[in-house]
């Protein structure tokens, strides 16, 4: 009876290792578009490197079988051996679905499932809204096929042959010997679980063996990575401390220093202001930023305004971009502050400052569900007097997924401008260019993302034509800025600075200049203070926003990445740092020891500020 137990453990261990390897191969197959410069050799090596993380997670899985084997020895029956099989069937289904979901998510986001992605499970309707119906059906079919296939393999290679296991009366000697052998087998699992004979156990860092990002991502076991992150991450309690606070404050102060001298771009300091936060408008779809010519109407406006060519999003998601644009506040890598109204209540909001300066008719327009990601409480705290969302529109204006199509919300924005007393402030967050990129327009581009951008751009062009015809252009400043970047057809990864590169364009008759470019590096957070400075409105409490146009303000942009990372872009330099791995994962340009401290100092000051809100 001893041999079946030991063989069961060995066969089970081998089975899970094979399962992880097969699904890793599927990951590579379905995400090859992200491979870029990765060589075949580096990808093959990733399979070898990945065995360490696979074996670590497999150790935990097989540990469950060891417990069942002890019970089987104790009760001398076949039931507990069958329990091993039942548990394995359940785990095969759960793990296969998880890893297939990870493969699918990576194709959209360019990263593995993390705590941010898990957070979307709280809003399953939002998840479903991001998928096309046929993608959902195809995914379910693939899950069924893969799960059935692995169960068949398990039954042939692993499942116990209960007929060979005799049912005998309990014998202490037999039980003691068998138990020692099973415990010994179980103790051997400690080595793969720890992944090391040294003091420090295995961590995700072992997967980062190559200069090619896709090879590293291939080596990662997504299940192990998520479990490791969850074990170490209570998002609100993560501390970012790299140096004495006095040193961090000094570095940060130097980074944010300004002279107070800057050129005037406006004809007067109380124009109407309309901010349009463009969903997923990455720089790589803007021709004037060396991108694809997907947004011609946006591009036409460049000659009628001021284009900021080197702006970077604060993060990778809409809720974080909203905080950056509306409050000039940088979010932390570990969580979005918008989730905590008690913290956002003390932020220095752009709308509130405009209201205090005499602006009236402050309206927020969004075609989706205003309750998404605590948006409702956030915009109310910001000072908006009127909030217009999906409930304000008839059902026939709504798409099948996220909400009201942009063309109808642009029409409503026009009506609001026509009926408002000057000077007014409007903030419109577009929606239609959100995945799954379904728009009510005859297809112009084969790529769904490009097609959705073209639709919103067309709506923007028609809106601007109406603005000019209705006499709304002359005394209005329009600020067009994206909420975040996307991988796009280029399959940019989130440790590439180009992923975060977004457009910012100021246009409208209120500008005293036109056909102008500003090439200084800036952040999405800088829009607020730059705008307020032009309006002669005090913004010294916006600590993490700088006036890009100031003569002495430094040229840099800080942003945060998923999985607890951060990046800093400077002239000719770029660094990306992983707080989980505790090392730089990208270091481009000639960097000094002082340069390596800047991003850390910025994040430490940000953490201290957020902690005290």
Tens of pLDDT, residue by residue over 309-319, are: 999 999 999 99
Greater confidence, 320 or 158?
Answer: 320
- C-beta of residue 487 within 8 angstroms of C-beta of residue 109: yes
Q: Is 279 annotated among the ligand-binding residues?
A: yes
Q: Is 484 annotated among the ligand-binding residues?
A: yes
Greater confidence, 135 or 453?
Answer: 453
**Is residue 130 predicted with pLDDT exceeding 60?**
yes
Cα 505 to Cα 457: distance, rounded to the nearest angstrom: 14
- In this predicted structure, what is the pLDDT of residue 407? 96
Cα 19 to Cα 14: distance, rounded to the nearest angstrom: 9
- In this predicted structure, what is the pLDDT of residue 108? 80
Cα 178 to Cα 184: distance, rounded to the nearest angstrom: 10
- In this predicted structure, what is the pLDDT of residue 327? 97
Q: Is 0.85 surpassed by the pTM of this model?
A: no
Rounded to whole angstroms, what are the CA distances from 349 to 39, 77, 381?
A: 48, 68, 8
Q: Residue 168 CB: number of other CB atoms within 10 A?
A: 10
Q: Look at the block and give the residue holding tokens 């059902």.
A: 395
pLDDT digits (tens, 9 = 90+) for 47-85: 998 998 898 888 888 877 777 666 665 655 556 567 778
- In this predicted structure, what is the pLDDT of residue 60? 85
**Is residue 231 predicted with pLDDT exceeding 70?**
no
Q: Which of 207-211, 250-254, 578-582 has the highest mean pLDDT?
A: 250-254
- C-beta of residue 373 within 8 angstroms of C-beta of residue 566: no
Cα 381 to Cα 360: distance, rounded to the nearest angstrom: 16
Cα 539 to Cα 349: distance, rounded to the nearest angstrom: 10
- In this predicted structure, what is the pLDDT of residue 612? 87
**Is residue 461 predicted with pLDDT exceeding 80?**
yes
pLDDT digits (tens, 9 = 90+) for 302-361: 999 999 999 999 999 999 999 999 999 999 998 888 888 878 889 999 999 999 999 999
Rounded to whole angstroms, what are the CA distances from 110 to 21, 214, 294, 458, 487?
A: 20, 9, 22, 28, 7
Banded model confidence at residue 187, pLDDT cuts 50, 70, 90: low
- In this predicted structure, what is the pLDDT of residue 164? 46
Cα 285 to Cα 12: distance, rounded to the nearest angstrom: 49
Rounded to whole angstroms, what are the CA distances from 573 to 347, 452, 562, 570?
A: 31, 33, 21, 5
Banded model confidence at residue 250, pLDDT cuts 50, 70, 90: very high
Q: CA angle 138-141-144, nearest 5°?
A: 150
Rounded to whole angstroms, what are the CA distances from 217 to 21, 105, 334, 418?
A: 14, 13, 20, 51
**Is residue 188 predicted with pLDDT exceeding 80?**
no
**E strand intervals along 160-318:** 272-278, 305-312
- CA 173 to the chain's CA centroid: 57
pLDDT digits (tens, 9 = 90+) for 261-313: 999 999 999 999 999 999 999 999 999 999 999 999 999 999 999 999 999 99
The mean pLDDT of the chain is 87
Q: Residue 370 CB: number of other CB atoms within 10 A?
A: 22
Sequence-ordered list of residues with C-beta below 8 angstroms from that of 391, at least 6 positions apart, any chain: 370
With the C-alpha atoms ordered 240, 246, 251, 257, is the resulting torsion angle positive or negative?
positive
- C-beta of residue 131 within 8 angstroms of C-beta of residue 434: no
Closest of 49, 130, 42 to residue 318, by C-alpha: 130
Look up residue 541 and give its DSSP letter: T
Among 87-101, 334-348, 484-498, 555-569, the minimum mean pLDDT is found in 334-348
- C-beta of residue 385 within 8 angstroms of C-beta of residue 363: yes
33 is catalytic: no
Structure tokens at 273: 């202001």
The rounded percent of the chain whose pLDDT value lies above 70 is 85
Greater confidence, 494 or 134?
Answer: 494
**Is residue 126 predicted with pLDDT exceeding 70?**
no
Greater confidence, 573 or 125?
Answer: 573
Among 127-141, 243-257, 364-378, the minimum mean pLDDT is found in 127-141
Cα 488 to Cα 107: distance, rounded to the nearest angstrom: 10
Q: Are strands 476-482 and 386-388 parallel, antiparallel or unpaired?
A: unpaired
Q: Look at the block and give the residue holding tokens 């059935």.
A: 148
Closest of 392, 62, 65, 104 to residue 222, by C-alpha: 104
**Section 502-523 average pLDDT:** 98
Sequence-ordered list of residues with C-beta below 8 angstroms from that of 600, at least 6 positions apart, any chain: 240, 242, 243, 248, 577
**Is residue 44 predicted with pLDDT exceeding 50?**
yes
- In this predicted structure, what is the pLDDT of residue 112? 86
Banded model confidence at residue 166, pLDDT cuts 50, 70, 90: very low
The rounded percent of the chain whose pLDDT value lies above 90 is 58
Q: What φ, ψ does residue 226 adopt, rounded to 5°? A: -65, -45
- In this predicted structure, what is the pLDDT of residue 165? 47
- In this predicted structure, what is the pLDDT of residue 287? 97
- In this predicted structure, what is the pLDDT of residue 199? 47
Cα 543 to Cα 329: distance, rounded to the nearest angstrom: 8
Q: Which of 20-34, 363-377, 545-559 has the highest mean pLDDT?
A: 545-559
- In this predicted structure, what is the pLDDT of residue 137? 87
Q: Is 450 annotated among the ligand-binding residues?
A: no
Q: What φ, ψ does residue 103 adopt, rounded to 5°? A: -60, -45
**Section 140-164 average pLDDT:** 84
Among candidate residues 55, 160, 178, 318, the one labeled active-site is 318
Prior bond of 293 cis (ω within 30°): no
- As beta bridge partners, residue 588 has 574
- C-beta of residue 363 within 8 angstroms of C-beta of residue 388: yes
pLDDT digits (tens, 9 = 90+) for 144-154: 999 999 999 99
Cα 211 to Cα 225: distance, rounded to the nearest angstrom: 20
Cα 454 to Cα 437: distance, rounded to the nearest angstrom: 11
- In this predicted structure, what is the pLDDT of residue 36? 79
Instruction: Determine if residue 191 is left, alpha or beta; phi over 0 gives left, psi from -120 to 50 gives alpha, anything else beta.
Output: alpha
- Domains in the chain with CATH codes: 2-232 (no CATH), 245-611 (3.40.720.10)
């Amino acid at each position: 009876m001893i041999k079946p137990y030991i063989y069961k453990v060995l066969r089970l261990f081998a089975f899970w290792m094979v399962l992880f390897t097969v699904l890793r191969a599927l990951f590579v197959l379905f995400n090859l578009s992200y491979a870029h410069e990765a060589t075949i050799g580096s990808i093959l090596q990733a399979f070898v490197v990945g065995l360490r993380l696979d074996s670590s997670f497999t150790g935990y899985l097989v540990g469950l079988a060891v417990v069942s084997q002890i019970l089987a020895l104790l009760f001398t029956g076949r039931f507990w051996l069958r329990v091993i099989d039942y548990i394995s069937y359940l785990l095969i289904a759960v793990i296969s679905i998880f890893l297939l979901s990870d493969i699918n998510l990576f194709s959209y986001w360019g990263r593995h499932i993390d705590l941010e992605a898990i957070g979307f499970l709280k809003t399953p309707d939002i998840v479903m809204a991001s998928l096309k119906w046929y993608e959902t059906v195809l995914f379910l079919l693939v899950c069924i096929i893969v799960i059935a296939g692995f169960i068949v393999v398990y039954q042939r290679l692993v499942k116990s042959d209960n007929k060979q296991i005799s049912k005998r009366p309990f014998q202490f000697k037999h039980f003691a010997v068998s138990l020692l052998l099973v415990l010994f087998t179980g103790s051997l699992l400690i080595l793969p679980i720890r992944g090391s004979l040294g003091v420090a156990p295995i961590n995700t860092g072992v997967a980062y063996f190559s200069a090619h990002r896709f090879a590293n991502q291939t080596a990662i076991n997504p299940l192990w990575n998520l479990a490791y992150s969850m074990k170490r991450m209570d998002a609100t309690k993560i501390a970012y401390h790299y140096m004495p606070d006095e040193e961090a404050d000094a570095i940060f102060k130097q980074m944010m220093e300004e002279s107070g001298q800057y050129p005037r771009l406006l004809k007067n300091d109380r124009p109407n202001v309309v901010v349009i936060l463009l969903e997923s408008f990455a720089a790589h779809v803007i021709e004037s930023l060396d991108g694809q010519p997907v947004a011609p109407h946006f591009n036409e406006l460049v000659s009628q305004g001021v284009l900021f060519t080197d702006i970077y999003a604060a993060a990778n998601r809409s809720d974080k971009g909203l905080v950056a644009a509306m409050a000039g506040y940088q979010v932390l890598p570990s969580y979005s502050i918008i989730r905590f109204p008690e913290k956002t209540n003390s932020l220095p909001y752009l709308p509130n400052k405009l209201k205090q300066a005499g602006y009236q008719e402050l309206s927020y327009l969004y075609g989706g569900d205003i309750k998404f990601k605590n948006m409702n409480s956030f915009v109310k705290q910001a000072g908006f007097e009127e909030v217009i969302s999906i409930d304000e529109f008839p059902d026939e204006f709504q798409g099948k997924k996220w909400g009201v199509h942009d063309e109808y919300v642009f029409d409503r924005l026009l009506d609001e401008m026509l009926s408002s007393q000057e000077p007014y402030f409007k903030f419109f967050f577009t929606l239609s260019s959100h995945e799954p990129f379904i728009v009510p327009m005859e297809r112009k581009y084969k790529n769904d993302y490009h097609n959705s951008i073209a639709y919103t751009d067309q709506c923007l062009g028609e809106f601007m034509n109406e603005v000019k015809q209705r006499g709304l252009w002359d005394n209005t400043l329009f600020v067009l800025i994206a909420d975040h970047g996307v991988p796009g057809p280029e399959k940019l990864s989130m440790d590439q600075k180009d992923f975060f590169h977004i457009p910012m364009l100021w246009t409208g008759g209120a500008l005293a200049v036109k056909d102008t470019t500003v090439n200084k590096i800036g952040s999405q957070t800088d829009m607020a203070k730059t705008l307020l400075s032009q309006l002669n409105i005090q913004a010294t409490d916006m600590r993490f926003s700088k006036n890009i146009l100031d003569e002495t303000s430094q040229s840099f942009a800080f942003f945060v990445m998923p999985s607890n990372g951060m990046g800093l872009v400077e002239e000719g330099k770029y660094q990306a740092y992983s707080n989980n791995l505790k090392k730089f994962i990208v270091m481009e340009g000639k960097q000094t020891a002082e340069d390596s401290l800047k991003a850390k100092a910025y994040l430490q000051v940000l953490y201290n500020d957020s902690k005290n809100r």
